[in-house]
Structure 1
């Protein structure tokens, strides 16, 4: 009996020790450093070291750089990129200049090429009427991506995003994407992600070939004018379940390749809405929505972090008269600073 009691007591102590270590491990996993990123808007001129001070001040540790390609219209299957007429920060020379400055401050980088369609047409709907047009577009897109893949490898960029909100392209031309990923991995040794729009993230199968599941996280959360924190959390429930399941299915972390809100009433009804005709401001809602997203996602081990949309180079950007996405010089900036500090080494 004494032996049995001794064995049972030690077994219990052993189980308690294992449980304690497991709990510590889970807490460590949940609270390890996240991608505390910003999406840096390119400018006409070069980036300067003083432009980085506000980024560092909010405890950001990562920056998304966005070299743009343009299409004259959806009927013309050719991308225009890295030309003299583009802003300096949108082409290869400007991207490389920015990389060198960001590296000096130990900021990690995601290269995130974007396509801009004239008149602001949505890239997710992009399609062509003939095989010849698709082939022409694919050749142009591959040239565009390989340029920035090689630049990313040259400068040891941590993450390369191979496309942004291109659902119809990805869904219609799977063989092209498989081959593109193989070709990119031949010249680039970092992590790969693709940025899919919030409503299509669980409708593609590209994730198995990549290192992260990338989501531009403009999920509709509430139709109320200015929902409370609890109402915002409730709005996230079904989306969070979907994202965690997606992560589990592919055994990949989710990263919000874009996230953010405008500082306006009803900003959580259609968070993607960039209509410039909207007037008025609601800075408290923007700040409140960001607080909730950090508490709901940055604490999760299956979640890698994200890049807030969007951050301008100039210190005077944003402000209390501004109702656009930028959090700069608004109450939201303090929320970002507070929560980014919690999730950095």
Structure 2
């Protein structure tokens, strides 16, 4: 395990202990569900300029941990609420991340859990987004809690299946119904893996992708962890690459300017290549609204005081870098599927949330001004 990940992974243990998901999002394991939104049959707001091939993908990741007993009506109403908010922020795209699990770091199988939304309920969200004119990406994401429970230093990028062939067979079987769902419900891109660093060199990706292409005619993508992206060629043979962009800027304090942050991002990206990056999507960009976050932007738990300026400047810098590099898209991390944007409280909401904080205004202005 690389030393630069240890601090993050130890903090992930604290998240689990505190009853939070691995991304700083509260996850319920009880039979109760959140308070349902009022039922509605309204149509979603429409994107003013729907995405077209060649346009940048300008969106956010919706992270959906399902609740027991959640009805289709509740899903439909919440999907409408989130999609309307995304349209209001000048987004033209959405990525839907949802969890799956494995028994531990050396396990040979993956599986859906009670927190994995069913294909039927995912279809409700996908159809709502499509009706609004949003470009759609579907993205399974390995939940890390069972990994951390077995080894505090384990994460999805350090998987070591005892039988890799069995793991890939299991993973392919898990993906199949979601690929078929994507083919039927307006999805443009399926991310076939995210941050699975230790498995990226495996030749079995080729067979898995051949099967995936037989089930889904759209684009297949893979999202690399930030350090993996800059340090080497990511060999998963997909159509496009995404980057979960959490570049640590260890030399900068909370008073760093946007220009300082931009320069730090550019130095990281230059380790890979200089100039334009028209085939790269920033698949995750986010940070907590708290002091010290520039040094560890991937850490979602903060004991420090709220500092929304830290978050705002990070968002401004990421937008500028993505535009300067002519990147294919940018997705902010994240919108909890169960969040109510209209009821967000910037003083007490989790530090990673951008809802009703200055960073949210940055999103709207960034996407409004982005050349298309």
TM-score by length of 1: 0.80
Q: 1:64 to 1:160 in 2, by over 3 A?
A: same
Instruction: Pick the aligned partner of 2:191 from 142, 161, 164.
Output: 161
> Is 2:43 the partner of 1:38?
no
Secondary structure of 2:242's aligned partner: strand
Residue pair 2:291, 2:304 contacting (<8 A) in 1 also = no
Matches within 5 A, 1:1-345: 33-42=55-64, 43-44=66-67, 45=70, 46-48=75-77, 49-81=80-112, 83=113, 85-86=114-115, 90-119=117-146, 120=148, 121-128=154-161, 130=162, 133-171=163-201, 173=202, 175-202=203-230, 203-206=232-235, 209-226=237-254, 227-245=256-274, 253-275=279-301, 278-301=303-326, 303-312=327-336, 313-315=339-341, 316-317=343-344, 319-343=346-370
Secondary structure of 2:332's aligned partner: strand
- In the TM superposition, what whole-angstrom CA distance separates every residue of 1:272-300 from its partner, at most 9, and x where no partner exists? 1123x523111011111111111121243
Q: Distance in 1 between matches of 2:164 and 2:126?
A: 33
Q: Distance in 2 between matches of 1:240 and 1:288?
A: 18
Secondary structure of 1:298's aligned partner: helix
Q: 1:147 to 1:318 in 2, by over 3 A?
A: farther
Shift of 1:117: 2.7
Shift of 1:244: 4.1
Shift of 1:34: 1.7
Q: 1:52 to 1:318 in 2, by over 3 A?
A: farther
The answer for the alignment partner of 1:22 in structure 2 is none
Listed as ranges, the gaps of 5+ residues in structure 1 are 1-31
The answer for the alignment partner of 1:19 in structure 2 is none
Count residues in correspondence: 299
Secondary structure of 1:53's aligned partner: helix
Q: Distance in 2 between matches of 1:266 and 1:205?
A: 30
Q: 1:96 to 1:72 in 2, by over 3 A?
A: same
Q: Distance in 2 between matches of 1:322 and 1:271?
A: 18
Residue pair 1:74, 1:117 contacting (<8 A) in 2 also = no
Structure number having the greater helix percentage: 1
Residue pair 1:215, 1:258 contacting (<8 A) in 2 also = yes
Q: Distance in 2 between matches of 1:164 and 1:217?
A: 12
Which is greater in Rg?
1
- In the TM superposition, what whole-angstrom CA distance separates every residue of 1:69-108 from its partner, at most 9, and x where no partner exists? 1123224322121x5x335xx3322211111111111111
TM-score by length of 2: 0.75
